[in-house]
Structure 1
Amino acid sequence: MVHLKKIDEHNWLKAVRLKVRTDQETFVASNAISLAQLNFLTDFHAMGIYQDDEMVGFTLFGLDRDDGEYWIYRMMIDEKQQGKGYGKKAIQLVIDEIRKVKEDRHTTITLSYEPENTFAAGLYSTMGFVEQEGMMIHGEQVSRYTF
């Protein structure tokens, strides 16, 4: 069963050890960087993506200070665990988690990805995220899910 579990003092090192394939390294920041960033993101949550008791991925999501909406800043599945459907399940779990805690005024979840990352573009589209035409952040395509 795929589920999310908070990153804490017991599992942070497992998260840091997760890696994407070499050809994907330019698509996502390392989990160590994401965990360091968490010190400055007061309304964000770092979660391990687990298949039963094994951490297979990592996500970082929360309430963005700039636009007051929820964002998924990181979503990754370890290179050894890709192609098993964990990414799709994890995205749905994050959407469900945000749905539980969001206020009525929160209407979207936003994320961004490298335009060359066609796999991510297709996956997010399948999950209901819509590319925002002409919206780029730091060279990344912006995509939104609307509740």
Structure 2
Amino acid sequence: MISLRKITLENRRAMFNLEVAEEQRQYVASNLSSVASCYVLSVNGGHPYPFIIYADEQPVGFVMITYGITGYEEPSLAKDNYCILRLMIDKQHQHKGYGREAMGKILEFIRTFPAGGAQYCWIPYKGDNTAAKKLYESFGFRDNGEVFNNESITVLEL
């Protein structure tokens, strides 16, 4: 069973050791970089929500959700909406359905509106990442035609 858990002193090293396959590194930043980004966002008025993705008691992935990214160049719908900025499943745990199940849990969390109300959830992704696009579309995300920092923007109405 998949769950999203906060990063703690006890589980942080396990999260830092999670990695995607070599050919996927072009699509997602390291978890260490993502946690550093969470700090920068939080001290600049953003609302980051980093979680370790667990399958039962085993860390298998990482997700970074943000709300209302401000003070940066951003896509047109970034303000007052949620973003799944990073999502990864460790190379040893891929192709087991964990990404799909995690996406369900992520959207369930977002729909609690922990930082405030929103109309949309958006995800930036590299256009040639067909596996990610297929996953996002299966949950109802649709590209809005916007490209930002060489990434396509896909959107789900909440």
Which TM bucket (shorter chain)? over 0.9
1:71 maps onto 2:71 in alignment: no
1:19 maps onto 2:19 in alignment: yes
Q: Moved runs in structure 1, 4+ residues, more than 2 A?
A: 101-105
Equivalent position amino acid for 1:146 in 2: E
1:141 maps onto 2:141 in alignment: no
Q: How many residues align?
A: 146
SS in 2 for 1:41: helix
Identity %: 30
Q: How many angstroms does 1:7 deviate by?
A: 1.0
2:140–2:156: 8 Å Cα contact kept in structure 1? yes
* CA shift in 2, pair 1:64/1:103, >3 Å: closer
Q: How many angstroms does 1:101 deviate by?
A: 2.5
2:31–2:62: 8 Å Cα contact kept in structure 1? yes
User: Cα deviations across residues 19-67 of structure 1 (Å, max 9, x unaligned)?
Assistant: 0000000000000100111111221111010000000000000212341
Counterparts of 2:55 and 2:115, CA distance in 1: 29
Residue number in structure 1 paired with 2:138: 126
Residue number in structure 2 paired with 1:7: 7
TM-score of the pair, normalised by structure 1 = 0.94
TM-score of the pair, normalised by structure 2 = 0.88
Counterparts of 1:52 and 1:79, CA distance in 2: 17
Structure 1 unaligned blocks of 5 or more: none
Partner residue of 1:45 out of 41, 49, 53: 49
Counterparts of 1:102 and 1:18, CA distance in 2: 26
Q: Trace 1:40-119 onto structure 2 (pairs within 5 A).
A: 40-42=40-42, 43-66=47-70, 67-102=79-114, 105-119=117-131
